[in-house]
Chain A
């Protein structure tokens, strides 16, 4: 470990002595609690496995979209319905929220004051909600232009894939609120930390899925 990191002003004395947090890429769960580490390993590994399973669900829905994209049945197609401007803003919001969640993780790992952690989480929540707001606005624009899911196989597939991601983001936002509640009630105990770790994985995962949606649905649709 370089001395530069060790002398970071945010680090308190306890963290500086706790070398293990630098050797282990995860979050500081405290050296004295070996049990917490074992628990964290199964928890996080299990959540990774869940994400793989969830990725298969998205894979199936992407495949549905790819096979039905030409099935417009005389209804409106991608060119009539997509607008790159708001979608680009959504992408930026989501990327920014991944960054702010990353900052929250850094605050957690390097024992910044809890207020810093809560602050980053709140910013993340606002960005996530803003993303959802823009997305809902997109959908209503599409509806107004005749792009309703019952119109064609293509539109059914669109409204399978994109709102499924939106639903995941909604769930993640609810989860985030619950985590803020847990921080308020229990402080940063092991269970809260493990919850934040998993939520972080989920949040970044949704970001990655969105990149695919942005490329496969919107960029390819408007190309």
Chain B
């Protein structure tokens, strides 16, 4: 494009027909009307949501705190919370989309109410959001929050980089959200296979939104991986050897390593696809020497480790939950660690099972099928370890434990269907049917989503200083669990009956009953989401009854429970010295839980930095400019980002000192509160008597 053209069309391709209601106004057709209404309502919700947030921030004069306390913060705890907020917003959107899809399928005999294009956008955004903008921010948020506390560190290794990663993730999420209002999203699924996604077959901005949302966020995720690998290797408290790390930290380490090595193939694949689409290169085209299998290989070289990036932190959370809520040390600690590491390693060796039916030889299929089945072995070890942890423990059915036990049952079923699919012969029968959809939701929802929700409930009191409402938590958990069963077990049957996945409609009446069951299940899942919102609302209203300032409401075992709730920004007044595996339990048993140190010292903490929000903003504008070919915006945003980075290099005053006197004051207030609090027995931990000081009950308990 010539220089003059950049200024002749300052908005690039952006024109009035990019807005969803435009098609609605111009067409009198009933189908267009329904699709237009749904699309326009979704866009309206996004716009209204933004307006409401802006209005609330203005009304409560929250702009300054938002900027100084949150957006520019380099505190890993605040960054973690912001990640989880992104995740919950995106979860709401993706669940609504899922219900819409199930409604379409229930009505899908001979047509249904959605157009094929609209349905394709729904499953593409649902998958993209759930994986990249719900689970990834959720687990990154929980890792951010809990891991530095668990290893007894003051912060992550690179606090500003952490903020940049958050900014890039937010930019990607924002891009997916704005695609609802301006333009369209990809119809190519969350995996975006060419040549379908090539410009020749799918012109328009949908695929470009997908490409840039993923590119921006995958760079952020790679940086997160580097940050956490280094944090866990280098920032552990004295005495915390690798074999004394809590299991969640172990799985966070595995996840970080997977991020470092698995995200680059995705970045390469999406950028090569972008070059194909924008500049007419030939990486994945049908003709002129392109090779579509390169995309499939690179995508799944990322995509398979990705599913373990998603699930391993869930395993870590369940390990913490089983141990804490059984009042026992985790059974088979070392086998758990080795199982997690084996899974992380094996995850790189199986990517080819994602295209068993694309025509490679039977020998290759056999090799990759067997490799895939191997993953069942370490996973089975974990399942037995979790069961043995509960055995003869004092099991309490708090909300996290309900999720954990449901996970144990459902995940085994999902695992078994996974072993079925790892057999190429069976895979030929059911590939591209909803059997596969049932399988991966059967591992992803109980393993990942339930894990994240368990972690959310488990660490919420630590983060905000008060517990979540138990009753609404249980209602929500049962809705998620039984709703999930209703929504996905029928899909196994439908898959075996031959219903193809991603099909907007079907012609066989025998699919209808099961589709209706699945739709009802999806509605119950929607009720679970609603209960989650109600739970948060109710809990905030009754927060005074449920304060747990002392910080140990569940009789926790690892170091994050050994500080106040919420913790001070420096986490620990004195870095703890670790002598045992369950460090805080050991401290409590020796009566060392709530002690004052001999002396207090000044603590050095990183200052706030605007670099994260600057990268988030420029990342978003850069990607938006690329989607709509607004070249001046692309150049401007890139320049601002580079200049910000260079300026940062020249900065020297990047730390602040927290005076020893302030540390002493805050710590003494906490120690006094802890000594004054009534130690709470396990039977009463769900009541408002729980002020966050657990009574010592582990001594003499059966082990």
Contact = CB atoms under 8 A, between A and B. Distances in A.
Contacts of B227: 46
A207 B265 CA distance: 22
B394 interface: no
A30 to B, nearest CB: 16
B289 A72 contact: yes
Interface in A18-77: 35, 38, 41-42, 45-46, 49-50, 52-54, 56-57, 60-61, 63-64, 67-68, 70-73
Given A52-B261, A149-B281, A61 B268 contact: yes
B226 interface: yes
B226 A153 contact: no
Given A46-B158, A67-B294, A150 B279 contact: yes
Interface string B260-293: 1101110111001001100111110101111100
- Identify whether the interface residues of A are mostly helix, strand, loop, or mixed: helix
A155 B290 CA distance: 10
Contacts of B301: 60
Contact of B268 (A60, A72, A150, A156): A60
Nearest to B269: A60
Nearest to B604: A35
A129 B130 CA distance: 45
B235 interface: yes
Select the residue from A53, A68, A174, A189 with max chain B CB neighbours within 10 A: A53
A49 B294 contact: no
B283 A153 contact: yes
Contacts of A156: 275-276, 281-283, 289-290
B650 A185 contact: yes
Contacts of A185: 650
A153 B288 contact: yes
B230 interface: yes
A208 to B, nearest CB: 17
Q: How large is the interface on A (under 10, 10 to 19, 20 to 34, 35 or more residues)?
A: 35 or more
A73 B264 contact: no
Given A49-B229, A153-B285, A160 B275 contact: yes
Contacts of A42: 157-158, 230, 234-235
A157 interface: yes
Nearest to A179: B649
A186 B652 contact: yes
A195 B226 contact: no
A67 B287 CA distance: 15
Contacts of A49: 226, 229-230, 260
A138 to B, nearest CB: 19
- Identify whether the interface residues of B are mostly helix, strand, loop, or mixed: helix
B22 interface: no
Interface in B556-584: none
A157 B225 CA distance: 28
Interface string A182-196: 100110010100010
B338 interface: no
Interface in B352-398: none
A41 B289 contact: no
A110 B355 CA distance: 56
Q: How large is the interface on B (under 10, 10 to 19, 20 to 34, 35 or more residues)?
A: 35 or more
Interface string A121-143: 00000000000000000000000
Contact of A68 (B260, B283, B604): B283
B351 to A, nearest CB: 13
A72 B646 CA distance: 41
Interface string A96-120: 0000000000000000000000000
Contact of A53 (B235, B260, B282, B294): B260
B291 A67 contact: yes
A192 to B, nearest CB: 9
A181 interface: yes
Nearest to A49: B226
A178 interface: yes
Contact of A64 (B225, B263, B294, B652): B294
A138 B555 CA distance: 67
A148 B492 CA distance: 50
A168 interface: no
A71 B290 contact: yes
Given A42-B157, A56-B265, A150 B260 contact: no
A70 B283 CA distance: 13
Contacts of B650: 178, 181-182, 185-186
A57 B275 contact: no
Contacts of B291: 67-68, 71, 153
B222 interface: yes
Given A57-B264, A149-B281, A191-B652, A64 B272 contact: yes
Nearest to B227: A46
A114 to B, nearest CB: 17
Contact of B288 (A50, A151, A159): A151
A152 B285 CA distance: 10
A161 to B, nearest CB: 11
22 contacts: A35-B604, A42-B158, A42-B230, A46-B158, A49-B230, A49-B260, A50-B226, A52-B260, A53-B260, A60-B265, A64-B268, A71-B290, A73-B288, A151-B288, A152-B282, A154-B289, A156-B276, A156-B283, A160-B272, A178-B649, A181-B650, A189-B652
- Ranked nearest first, the 9 interchain pairs of A and B with the lowest CB-CB distance are A71-B289, A153-B289, A156-B281, A56-B264, A60-B268, A73-B289, A46-B230, A152-B289, A73-B288
Interface of A: 35, 38, 41-42, 45-46, 49-50, 52-54, 56-57, 60-61, 63-64, 67-68, 70-73, 149-157, 159-160, 174, 178, 181-182, 185-186, 189, 191, 195
Given A52-B261, A57-B267, 11 more contacts: A42-B230, A45-B234, A49-B229, A56-B261, A64-B294, A68-B283, A71-B291, A72-B289, A73-B287, A182-B649, A182-B650
